[in-house]
Structure 1
């Protein structure tokens, strides 16, 4: 599955300078529930690979179209999320696909951990 977007949005919770109250449709409970999408070195690799929550969606996603969170992708690539790397590498091997990992555009300083994305500035 190729990425639907490669540019981080202005209100991404992974950005250091973002404000949670300005994220359209923000719901703290839904945000906290996304902790399961974070790579966990204490879990078995195959358990992570088969997790029902393998990716964090962008807050601009709709029921009709899921958009991946570019801030989450960037964070997880830096923190060795192997299932994510496998999915992106598989996409890059398709003839019509490009190496989307090289196309990721991050906007400013990023939070290092998921817990930091829940902090209010």
Structure 2
């Protein structure tokens, strides 16, 4: 699966220095609803693979074009998200991911202002 972007956007909520209130178009309810995209080590692989929400989109996504959240990809690859690893297994772009600064370690941290 080719990624639509490989560089983390400057407003990514995964960045430690990002204030959620300053993110253009930010919607807290939509953000909280993305919890299901986070790898759960207690969930079996079949459940993970059949989850309706398998990826977190960038807040710059539109109805016409989904952009993957590079901060989420970076976090989930470090935290062994097996479905994501399977999807990206043949991608040559992983080595080119560009992360911008210190990152939050957990999804819960991305919800803190």
Asked whether the two chains share a fold, i.e. TM above 0.5, the reply is yes
The aligned residue for residue 24 of structure 1 is 24
**What's the offset of the Cα at 1:117?**
0.1
2:44 is equivalent to residue 51 of structure 1: no
Compute the TM-score of the two structures, normalised by the length of structure 2: 0.98
Following superposition of structure 1 onto structure 2, how do residues 1-121 of structure 1 map, counting pairs within 5 Å?
A: 1-90=1-90, 92=91, 99-120=92-113
State the alpha-carbon separation in 2 of the partners of residues 24 and 53 from structure 1: 23
Consecutive aligned runs of 4 or more in structure 1 exceeding 6 Å deviation? none
Give ranges in structure 2 of 5+ residues lacking alignment: none
Q: Which residue of structure 2 aligns with residue 96 of structure 1?
A: none
Task: Count residues with an aligned counterpart.
Answer: 113
Give the greater-gyration-radius structure (CA): 1
